[in-house]
Chain A
Amino acid sequence: MCVGVPAKVIEKKEYTALVDVMGTKMEVGILFVPEVEIGEYVIVHAGQGMSIIDQTFARQSISEWEKMARADVI
């Protein structure tokens, strides 16, 4: 439906930002995530940042899934 990749913001201008996806860089629009800051990750779709990744939630989810995988009960 909609391919989206996590990308790190490394430079920010008014309407665009330079992002890095594992070493490959690209200029994307930040119309929908104007508050994004350098160092944060965004989900990029069709050349636009669509959402800022909340790293606290990301960590929480990972530990929740780890617990789920390793729980004694099904």
Chain B
Amino acid sequence: MERKVTLAHGDGGELAHKLIQQIFISAFGNGHAARFDSAYLSLKSGEIAVTTDSFVVRPLFFPGGDIGKIAVSGTVNDLAVAGAIPLYLTAGFIIEEGFSLADLRKIVQSLAEEAGKAGVRVVAGDTKVVEKGGADGVYINTTGVGLQRAGSSVDPSRIEAGDDIVVSGTIGDHGIAILAARGELGLMTDLESDCASLNKMIAALIDGGCDVKMMRDPTRGGVATTLVEIAEDFGAVLEIEERTLPIRNEVKGACDILGFDPLYLANEGKVILVVSHADCPQALDILRRFPEGENTAVIGHVAGRGRGTGQLLLETPLGSKRRIHRLSGMMLPRIC
């Protein structure tokens, strides 16, 4: 087999056939389904959940993961936080001409491995090859199909004053790990991306009977932007406390150097939950049993509901409360 992806790998001929057989089918194992133009899936009756997400990440391989892993966990988490049980994935690859086949194989295997861990099946796929310079290495789109969880209490309209706000671990790990992996700004850290599928942890929480009212995964824009969206979408006043935010020292250090705020850094393996105050201890207990949730912390509470447009407030260690807004534009390292 060739060592690099060529345009011929995308033309539907002999090479394309080989590429699909040797890299994709060998990893995903659905040889039978691949003989048809569509996959047939059996779903129990009920509402299905569908989500789609495209993954472009630089570098493609980073400490703690790669684009293949994140293409699974990102979509699986979108289903899981919506209260669905993730079941099936499709994966579409856009590959730049000249891309190393060995790297492609690694990415596909990583994707398959993460799908296995999350308990979802990759049932359909597609590859396209674009000319050199037409894409940056590999882009992946995944679409996820899930089934609504029966008896789930997730319903943001029930958010009320007194509910606790919980985050399932340290914040900003992914953002800084990626930045360091790019090597452009000279940061060196042992930090790993937190990217992980959270569906099993979330299932344990719901099956445990915890009164979870709302879940979101704080990816791009970070914890701050996600909480501002929750506050605005549901007209709630959310208050978080700065001193309770779980942040790794390395992340704090990197943020100090570059003038970043960890509240706005991306996470790829965290969930923010609004939980009834009574059920919060049990929720913490369940989440902390999972390696992805061992640093779970209560970071604040719902202070009110239905007053105006909703807002997010941060209580500083001095006791003053300042309003937090969405991330404006992109974060740029500052020296001045």
Contact = CB atoms under 8 A, between A and B. Distances in A.
Interface of A: 1-3, 5, 7, 20-27, 44-47
Interface size class of B (residues with CB under 8 A): 20 to 34
B162 interface: no
Interface of A is mostly: strand
A24 B187 contact: yes
Contacts, number: 52
Given A24-B188, A27-B186, A2 B252 contact: no
A20 B254 CA distance: 10
B257 A26 contact: yes
Nearest to B249: A22
Contacts of B180: 24
A21 B180 CA distance: 14
Contacts of A3: 259, 334-336
Given A5-B256, A44-B257, A23 B335 contact: no
B190 interface: yes
B190 A22 contact: no
A23 B250 CA distance: 5
A62 to B, nearest CB: 16
B335 A5 contact: no
Given A3-B259, A45-B335, A23 B249 contact: yes
Interface in B305-336: 334-336
Contact of A21 (B190, B257, B335): B257
Nearest to A2: B336
A21 B188 CA distance: 10
A22 B336 contact: no
Contacts of A23: 189-191, 248-250, 253
Contact of A26 (B176, B188, B252, B335): B188
A1 B334 CA distance: 10
Contacts of B248: 23
A1 B336 CA distance: 5
A47 B333 CA distance: 12
Given A23-B248, A26-B186, A5 B336 contact: no
A39 to B, nearest CB: 17
B335 A25 contact: no
B34 to A, nearest CB: 45
A22 B335 contact: no
Contacts of B176: 24
A44 B335 CA distance: 10
